């Protein structure tokens, strides 16, 4: 009898454990089913503007413009306040952004030439790591005509989702093409608004996806023409109230005030759109898992030093805004950083922040260890113009090839004939006093010349006449040294 009772008890005990296991298993399945997608890998969003100089934001102290949304982003971001565009012109910067290489390596040192379709690009690397990749807006790396389709396949350099245009500065009802449709499409209205909405839709569509995303939203503004922002924004800026930089000559002041009013109108519209993107990221619960980079491909002289647009080594041309919003879980403190981040550094830094191996084709610096306080890098940046073209070859004295070195305090440039510019950017922030040949700065000039020579040696730059590089790469140019383009 005793044995039968024990046997019966044993059966009940086994049944009990079985029922408990079944309940636990079902609860675990339910838990797994309800668990949100893996958010261990951050999304990446690059907000790229065209021709937005570093000085033209509220947080940088520009008295003419309020940028409340960017100011809020800057307050929680790493701000590389000395960041530069190493070759301050459209296509070279964009090629460096995509490849992590310098222009003499990737070969895009002119506008309107094609980036090698075999290049190891940021999109291709993120794709291999399981990211969904997307591109919206201005491309300027295809060289097949500015209004023509960048055909699906290798010419899109690894980007899977596409709503882009090669290059246009008609910001109202401008041209674009989408994923697989070869037919030309038109943005309805001001393209800055439409591109923003397209990006928001893309991000919303990724919310329930298994994979994180990496997307570049590439705006065409505030690049000239300056007076084409919506009237609502243009009405905010009275040219007569614009405060000019001290390096704008008297002969240009009235024109520059007019143009700056339009430039700031584009910027005000962009600031609103950046705010809209961030607001939607927060509403969708993705903000805290998204690395956001805000930058520009180069600046705009806008009358400073008697010139417009870019290519030159002056502050208004070469220095660009550079914000990195980094999710809290990466434990990188926000705040200003002194390092001179350059164009080719963006790709390796983003890969580093996402714990992705950096290809050996990359020449730029991964700034993650610097941001974590583990390394000291970025004391010096190299600026260059391989071949002047376009508007710079049409100025009074003509453009010039140059190589320049920029430190936190100084800018030193030489052209093919020898030393050209030397500025103390701290004591002379408007770069009004060229110190080249000044007896009191002979030792400094010699030291900067040695640093520049060493940097050129390290990068394999022989600093030859621009036409030699054009011949090497086989680019067709007109009488101004510009690659002709068609629409």
For 20-70, what is each residue's pLDDT tens digit?
344 344 443 333 333 344 457 999 999 999 999 999 999 999 999 999 999
Distances (CA, A) of 243 to 81, 196, 222, 307: 22, 30, 18, 17
Strand partners, 415: 402, 418
Catalytic residue among 11, 24, 25, 140: 140
Judging by beta carbons within 10 Å of its beta carbon (0-12, 13-18, 19+), is residue 178 exposed, middle or buried? Answer: middle
| Range with lowest mean pLDDT among 8-12, 178-182, 382-386, 482-486 | 8-12
Structure tokens at 420: 């050209």
Q: Give yes or no for a contact between 286 and 293, defined as CB atoms under 8 angstroms apart.
A: no
pLDDT score recorded for residue 39: 58
List, in order of start, the domains of the chain with CATH numbers. 43-374 (3.40.720.10), 383-473 (3.30.1120.10)
With 70 as the cut, is the pLDDT of residue 290 above it? yes
> Which residue, among 366, 374, 387, 245, has the nearest Cα to 316 in the 3D structure?
245
pLDDT for the residue 180: 82
- How far apart are alpha carbons 320 and 374 in whole angstroms? 25
d(CA 350, CA 306): 37
The stretch 98-113 carries a mean pLDDT of 97
Q: How far is CA 197 from CA 38, 136, 317, in A?
A: 26, 10, 30
Tell me the torsion sign for CA atoms 92, 96, 102, 105: negative
Per-residue pLDDT tens for 413-436?
Answer: 999 999 999 999 999 999 999 999
pTM of the model: 0.90
- Give the pLDDT of residue 157: 97
- Please determine, for residue 117, whether its predicted confidence score (pLDDT) is greater than 60: yes
Query: What residue ranges in 241-309 does DSSP mark as E strands?
Result: 290-296
Catalytic residue among 90, 167, 354, 385: 90
CA 444 – CA 412 distance, rounded (Å): 10
Between helix 68-75 and helix 253-283 the angle, nearest 10°, is 60
Instruction: Flag the least confident range among 212-221, 259-268, 392-401, 404-413.
Output: 392-401
What pairing do the DSSP bridges indicate for beta strands 410-415 and 418-424?
antiparallel
pLDDT at residue 469 tops 60 = yes
What is the predicted pLDDT for the residue at 36? 40
Q: How many Cα atoms within 13 Å fall on the side-chain side of residue 126?
A: 32
Instruction: Say which residue, 255 or 204, is predicted with more confidence.
Output: 255
Residue recorded with tokens 């010039």: 400
90 is catalytic: yes
């Amino acid at each position: 009898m005793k044995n039968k009772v024990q046997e019966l008890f044993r059966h009940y005990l086994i049944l009990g454990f079985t029922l408990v296991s079944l309940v636990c298993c079902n609860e675990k399945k339910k838990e797994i089913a309800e668990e949100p997608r893996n958010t261990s890998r951050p999304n990446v969003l690059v907000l790229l503007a065209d021709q937005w100089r570093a000085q033209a934001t509220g947080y940088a102290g520009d008295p003419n413009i309020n940028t409340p949304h960017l100011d809020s982003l800057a307050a929680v971001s790493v701000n590389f306040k000395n960041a530069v565009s190493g070759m301050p012109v459209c296509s070279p910067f964009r090629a460096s952004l995509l490849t992590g290489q310098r222009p003499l390596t990737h070969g895009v040192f002119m506008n309107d030439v094609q980036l090698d379709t075999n290049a190891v690009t940021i999109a291709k690397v993120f794709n291999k790591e399981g990211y969904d990749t997307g591109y919206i807006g201005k491309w300027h790396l295809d060289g097949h005509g500015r209004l023509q389709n960048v055909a699906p396949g290798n010419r899109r350099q690894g980007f899977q989702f596409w709503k882009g245009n090669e290059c246009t500065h008609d910001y109202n009802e401008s041209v674009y093409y989408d994923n697989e449709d070869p037919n030309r499409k038109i943005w309805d209205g001001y393209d800055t608004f439409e591109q923003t909405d397209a990006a928001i839709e893309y991000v919303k569509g990724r919310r329930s996806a298994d994979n994180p995303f990496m997307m570049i939203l590439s705006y065409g503004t505030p690049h000239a023409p300056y007076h084409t922002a919506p009237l609502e924004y243009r009405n905010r800026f009275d040219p007569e109230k614009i405060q000019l930089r001290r390096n704008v000559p008297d002969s240009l002041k009235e024109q520059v005030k007019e143009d700056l009013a339009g430039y700031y109108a584009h910027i005000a519209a962009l600031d609103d759109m950046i705010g809209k993107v961030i607001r939607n990221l927060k509403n969708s619960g993705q903000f805290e898992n998204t690395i956001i980079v805000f930058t520009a491909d180069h600046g705009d002289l806008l009358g400073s030093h008697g010139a417009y647009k870019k290519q030159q080594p002056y502050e208004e041309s070469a220095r660009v805004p550079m914000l990195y919003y980094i999710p809290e879980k990466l434990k990188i403190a926000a705040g200003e950083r002194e390092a001179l981040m350059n164009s080719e550094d963006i790709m390796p830094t983003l890969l580093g922040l996402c714990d992705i191996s950096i290809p050996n084709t990359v020449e730029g610096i991964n700034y993650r260890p610097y941001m974590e306080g583990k390394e000291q890098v970025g004391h010096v940046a190299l600026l260059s113009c391989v071949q002047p073209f376009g508007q710079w070859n049409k100025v009074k004295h003509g453009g010039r090839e140059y190589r320049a070195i920029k430190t936190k305090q100084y800018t030193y440039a030489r052209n093919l004939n020898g030393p050209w510019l030397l500025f103390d950017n701290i004591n002379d922030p408007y770069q009004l006093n060229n110190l080249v040949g000044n007896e009191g700065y002979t030792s400094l000039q010699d030291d900067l010349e040695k640093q520049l020579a060493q940097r050129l040696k390290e990068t394999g730059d022989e600093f030859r006449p621009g036409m030699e590089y054009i011949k090497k790469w086989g680019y067709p140019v007109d009488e101004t040294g510009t690659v002709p383009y068609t629409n």
